[in-house]
Amino acid sequence: MRIVSVVGARPQFVKLAPISHAFARADLDHVIIHTGQHYDPMLSAVFFEELDIPAPDIHLGIGSGSHGHQTGAMMAALDDVLPDLEPDWVLVYGDTNSTLAAAVCAAKTHLPLAHLEAGLRSFDRRMPEEINRVLTDHAADLLLAPTTVAAGHLSDEGLATRTVVVGDVMTDVLMSVRDRVLDRNMVSPIATELGLEDGSYSIATIHRAENTDDPRRLAAVLDSLRNVDHPVVVLAHPRLVARSAQFGLELGGGALLSHPPVGYRELVASVMRSRGVITDSGGLQKEAFLLQVPTTTVRPSTEWVETVELGWNVLAEPGPALVHAASRPRPADTEATPYGDGHAADRVARALQRGL
Ligand code: UD1
């Protein structure tokens, strides 16, 4: 059985790691296509190296652009390669423009399409990712849902018969990297570099268009981070760096320190040794929860509602609410495991082998 994975952006490389290992264990013929959406080495190559992912078989080299240009260029390039590969499944991941491009291309060329991380909803249609996930779910033949909440959303949209709950593959990769960090007693390279003590700092990531692309909103976010009562290290995504420079905003001052993005192992080690996470990323909210680190999410909504319900994640608007939330004490420990047992990727392999 041949499965073609289409990936292009940082969170997809993280999800691809456990999938590529599970497919190898199941002896599946796995072809990897990289669209090129993320091309900086620290957003792309470092993940393939650190997480032992085979190099992409095909690299489309599409790169940046407006949503239409980027997605359209990917679709055109995929049209030229996907059908010739004669896949039994095209597998798409998450909610980026690479996901949508491959989903539309597969559906229109009548190739069986499976969506990993199906059924997530923020119910915020202004997020490009929300549009990407809704359209991809409705185009797909097999919906691989990470949680029962996600499966419930798919059922509400009439998609229950195509849905299988497999658990969350990010739990698989996080658990194995966490164990490696603990075994090797790895310290946070960021904390070492910046001279910060364990448990004294928060790690921040801000890159969503809703936060970065409006100068007033971005100024308010950065101002809040400066006013937190302990050091906040922002791992600056290229979009954040570009927009801050464009709007004349400093990525520093007060509590705020800036650092380039890091690889996955460094991120896990740094979050494990931090006192909190401040983010607008989807994946990091859940990773922090799994590492038992309190999170403040700079968005009005989240797809990972379990993290909020269990008391580990607080949604906060820029301003006093964000400053206050980022300084709050740790909640009570939880034994809940809403994101699976670390074996989701093997379930994905079995679901694809079983078919519809
Ligand atoms: C994309 C995804 C988002 C995901 C995020 C992870 C979409 C709509 N969004 O957002 O869901 O959480 O990836 O990082 O697909 N750039 C570089 N180097 C790179 C990549 C991007 O400099 O390697 C710059 C470009 O100027 C680009 C900007 O960053 O215009 C934004 O990149 P883009 O691919 O549009 O989306 P992300 O913000 O990374």
For residue 53, the 8-state DSSP code is P
* Alpha carbon of 88 to ligand 1 centroid (Å): 29
299 close to ligand 1 (CB < 6 Angstrom): no
Structure-token pair, residue 307 = 């993290």
Per-residue pLDDT tens for 131-148? 999 999 999 999 999 999
Residue 356 has pLDDT above 90, yes or no: no
Ligand 1, atom 12: closest residue by C-alpha: 281
Tokens 């456990």 belong to residue: 18
> Which residues share a beta bridge with 29?
2
Instruction: Give the Cβ contact number of residue 341 at 10 Å.
Output: 12
Rounded CA separation 314/295 (Å): 6
By DSSP bridging, strand 89-93 and strand 256-259 are unpaired
**What's the order of all strands across the beta sheet hosting 58-59?**
58-59, 29-34, 2-7, 89-93, 113-116, 142-145, 163-165
Mind listing the pLDDT tens digit for each residue in 155-183? 999 999 999 999 999 999 999 999 999 99
CATH 1.20.120.430 fits 2-168+340-354, yes or no: no
User: CA of 226: how far to CAs of 43, 57, 198, in Å?
Assistant: 25, 44, 20
Query: 175-326 belongs to which CATH class?
Result: alpha beta
314 Cα: distance to centroid of ligand 1 (angstroms): 25
Supply the pTM of this predicted model: 0.96
Q: Is residue 61 within 8 Å of residue 34, measured between CB atoms?
A: no
Start-end of CATH 3.40.50.2000 domains in the chain: 2-168+340-354, 175-326
3-state helix, strand, coil in the chain (%, to 5): 45, 15, 40
- 4 has pLDDT over 70: yes
Residue with tokens 């909210």, as numbered in its chain: 285
Counting atoms of ligand 1 from 1, which one is nearest the CA of 38?
Answer: 23
The catalytic residues are 207
Nearest residue by C-alpha to atom 25 in ligand 1 = 64
The token pair at 228 is 């937190």
- pLDDT beyond 70 at 6: yes
E strands, 82-223, are: 89-93, 113-116, 142-145, 163-165, 202-205
Could you tell me the distance, in angstroms and rounded to a whole number, from the CA of residue 239 to the centre of ligand 1?
7
Q: Are 232 and 204 in contact (CB under 8 A)?
A: yes
297 lines ligand 1 (CB under 6 A): no
The pLDDT, as a whole number, for residue 202 is 98
For CA atoms 37, 316, 120, 339, give the dihedral sign: positive
What is the Å distance from ligand 1's center to 39 Cα? Answer: 9
Q: Determine the distance separating the centroid of ligand 1 and the alpha carbon of 37, expressed in angstroms.
A: 7
At which residue do the structure tokens 């990773």 appear? 287
Mean pLDDT rounded to a whole number for the chain? 97
Q: If pLDDT is split at 50, 70 and 90, which confidence band does 355 have?
A: confident
Share of the chain above pLDDT 90, in %: 99
Go through 165-182 and write b for each residue having 16 or more CB atoms within 10 A of its CB, e for each that does not. Answer: bbbbbbbbbbbebbeebe
Digit-coded pLDDT (tens) for 223-277: 999 999 999 999 999 999 999 999 999 999 999 999 999 999 999 999 999 999 9
Q: Which residue type does 101 have?
A: A
Which residues make beta-bridge pairs with 5?
Answer: 32, 91
- Is ligand 1 within 6 A of the CB of residue 103? no
**In testing the pocket of ligand 1, which one of 59, 96, 99 has its CB within 8 Å of the most ligand atoms?**
96
Shortest-distance atom of ligand 1 to CA 282: 12
Which atom of ligand 1 lies at the shortest distance from residue 128's CA? 8
For 187-226, the pLDDT digits (tens) are 999 999 999 999 999 999 999 999 999 999 999 999 999 9
